């Protein structure tokens, strides 16, 4: 029996390897067409929950020509990133993807969507201008160009990989740094901390107390830094710089030479830190807030 040809919209609860390959190919085409660096969280795409629809694929005669992904990090909003093949634009494909995703999010009780649009994407910027969105904030993607790292000489600060017993500290620091309820910081699980080939977590501690942490997603040749935070009472003492230097060195020792991160454009203190260690901006993402109405 022949396999049916895929056409139109398909909703997915989890993605298989073939679909991930199709998405990667489509992203490459779109990036090349407009000179972009589309924001897709590949570590999450590879580990989607199978009990919830988060990915929306659109096919034309068995070819993936449109894709929209939802990323949820709290109980009230979802981030949205997506794309349409350059040859299939202005056919209502992305509007179909977005409307379907909007309905799904509404049924989950989410109150808002955050649409992620690269500043250099005319198609993306045009789409959000036709919606009732409100500009929320912007982020830079920064890539390590030439490392300029301080010596790790602070005798008070101990730097190491996180251990399972650090999970409560990781949750507490994340909640304080990113203004989240601690019970919603649910990703520091035993499974997550036991997958060193996919992600790493590094902490700084003083007198046995964890005072800061950096999370890292790993791909074949790259490392992406996120969730970098130092408790307020320990900021301004150089600990963050030491933690960043340690993490970069650890990634380089693992053979990850392409190291990147994202930071809010208005966070001047963090920008100064990253610049001083050799990171440079490569692109900018705008975030637009779209309210959901519930009937």
Work out the average pLDDT over 140-149: 90
Please give the share of the chain, as a percent, with pLDDT higher than 90: 81
**Which CATH number does the domain housing residue 44 bear?**
3.40.630.30
Q: Is the pLDDT of residue 294 over 70?
A: no
Is there a single domain that holds both residue 224 and residue 273?
Answer: yes
Q: What is the pLDDT of residues 95-108, one digit of tens each?
A: 999 999 999 999 99
Number of domains composing the chain: 2
pLDDT of 2 > 70? The answer is no
Beta strands in the chain (DSSP E): 8-12, 55-60, 63-71, 77-84, 112-118, 134-144, 158-161, 199-206, 209-218, 222-230, 258-264, 279-291
- Say if residue 104 is in the same domain as residue 15: yes
Distance between CA atoms of residues 15 and 13, nearest Å: 7
What whole-number distance in Å separates Cα of residue 196 and Cα of residue 171? Answer: 19
In a domain, 2, yes or no: no
H/E element, 294: none
User: Residue 146's closest CA among 282, 278, 281, 280?
Assistant: 278
Phi, psi values for residue 226, rounded to 5°: -155, 170
Same domain, 169 and 119: no
What value does the mean pLDDT take over residues 117-140?
A: 94
Question: Do 33 and 75 fall into the same domain?
Answer: yes
Q: Judge whether residue 260 has pLDDT over 70.
A: yes
Q: How many CB atoms lie within 10 A of CB 63?
A: 16
Q: In 3D, which of 279, 267, 176 has the Cα closest to residue 225?
A: 279
Asked if residue 101 and residue 62 are part of one domain, the reply reads: yes
The answer to whether residue 3 is domain-embedded is no
Reduced to 3 states (helix: H, G, I; strand: E, B; else coil), residue 74 is: coil
Please check the confidence at residue 295 and state whether its pLDDT lies above 80. no
Whole-angstrom Cα distance, residue 278 to residue 252? 14
Q: What is the mean pLDDT of residues 72-93?
A: 94
Give the integer Cα–Cα distance in Å for 77 and 114: 7
User: Is the predicted pLDDT of residue 246 greater than 50, yes or no?
Assistant: yes
The mean pLDDT value for 197-211 works out to 93
Residues 179 and 230 in one domain: yes
Residue 168 and residue 102 in one domain: no
* Gap between the Cα atoms of 17 and 11, Å rounded: 16
Q: Compare 43 and 81 and report the one with higher pLDDT.
A: 81
Helix, coil or strand: residue 102: helix
Domain presence at residue 1: no
Let me know whether 218 and 268 are in one domain: yes
Instruction: Give the model's pLDDT for residue 195.
Output: 80
111 in a domain, yes or no?
A: yes
Interval 151-196: pLDDT, tens = 776 778 999 999 999 999 999 999 999 988 999 898 998 888 888 8
Per-residue pLDDT tens over the stretch 212-235:
999 999 988 899 999 999 999 999
Q: Is residue 33 part of a domain?
A: yes
The two tokens of residue 158 are: 């101990």
Handedness of CA 147, 151, 155, 156 (dihedral sign): negative
In order of 60, 94, 99, 106, 192, the CA distances from 9 in angstroms are 9, 10, 11, 19, 32
Average pLDDT, the chain: 93
Going by C-alpha positions, the residue among 135, 159, 121, 105 that lies closest to residue 33 is 121
**Structural domain span for residue 247:** 147-277
Q: Are residues 190 and 241 in the same domain?
A: yes
Per-residue pLDDT for 1 more than 70?
no
Residue 202 has pLDDT above 50, yes or no: yes
In terms of domains, do 127 and 16 share one? yes
Q: Which tokens is 29 given?
A: 């085409």
Residue 96 to residues 85, 272, 278, 280: CA-CA distances in angstroms? 14, 41, 42, 36
- Together in a domain, 130 and 174: no
* 241 and 218 inside one domain: yes
């Amino acid at each position: 029996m022949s396999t049916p040809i895929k056409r139109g919209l398909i909703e997915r609860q989890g993605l298989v390897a073939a679909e991930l390959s199709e998405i990667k190919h489509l992203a490459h085409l779109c990036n090349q067409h407009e000179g972009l660096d589309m924001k897709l969280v590949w570590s999450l795409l590879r580990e989607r929950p199978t009990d919830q629809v988060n990915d929306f694929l659109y096919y034309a005669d068995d070819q993936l020509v449109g894709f929209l992904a939802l990323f949820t990090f709290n109980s009230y909003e979802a981030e949205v990133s997506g794309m349409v093949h350059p040859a299939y634009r202005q056919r209502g494909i992305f509007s179909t993807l977005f409307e379907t995703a909007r309905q799904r999010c509404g049924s989950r009780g989410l109150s808002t969507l955050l649409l992620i649009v690269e500043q250099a994407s005319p198609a993306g910027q045009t789409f959000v201008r036709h919606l009732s969105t409100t500009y929320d904030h912007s982020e830079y993607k920064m890539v390590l160009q030439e490392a300029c790292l301080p010596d790790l000489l602070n005798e008070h600060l101990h730097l190491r990989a996180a251990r399972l017993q650090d999970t409560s500290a990781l949750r507490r620091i994340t909640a304080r740094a990113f203004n989240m309820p601690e019970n919603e910081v649910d990703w520091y699980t035993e499974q997550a901390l036991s997958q060193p080939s996919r992600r790493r977590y590094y902490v700084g501690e003083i007198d046995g107390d964890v005072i800061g942490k950096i999370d890292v997603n790993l791909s074949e040749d790259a490392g992406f830094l996120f969730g970098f935070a130092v408790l307020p009472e320990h900021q301004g003492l150089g600990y963050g710089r030491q933690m960043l230097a340690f993490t970069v060195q650890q990634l380089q020792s693992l053979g990850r030479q392409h190291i990147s991160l994202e930071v809010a454009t208005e966070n001047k203190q963090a920008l100064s830190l990253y610049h001083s260690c050799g990171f440079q901006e490569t692109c900018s993402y705008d975030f637009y807030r779209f309210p959901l109405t519930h009937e």
